[in-house]
Amino acid sequence: MLLLAFLAIAIVYYLIQKDKIRKAEKRDIFKEKQEKNYNSFLKKQEKKMQKKLKKINDEYYERI
């Protein structure tokens, strides 16, 4: 009877740990995806700013 209780506790503990690991992996995957999206957003914004600055710079030198 004691062995059966110990086995049941061990199985429950294993399932809880497995669930925690799975959640941590999902969180890591989500963070990586979020970081990738943020980096691509920053690159797009940087390109936009470069185009705007080039346009402003060109207009300035045309006036001179």
Distance of CA 39 to the CA centre of its chain: 10
Question: What's the pLDDT tens digit per position in 3-21?
Answer: 999 999 999 999 999 999 9
The reply to whether 63 falls in a domain is yes
Number of residues that make up the chain: 64
* Residue in the block written with tokens 């990738």: 36
The reply to whether 5 falls in a domain is no
- The pTM of this model reads 0.62
Sign (positive or negative) of CA dihedral 35, 36, 42, 45: negative
pLDDT band for 64, please (50, 70, 90 cuts): low
DSSP-assigned letters across all residues of 31-50: HHHHHHHHHHHHHHHHHHHH
Number of domains the chain contains: 1
CB count in 10 Å sphere of residue 49: 10
The reply to whether 40 falls in a domain is yes
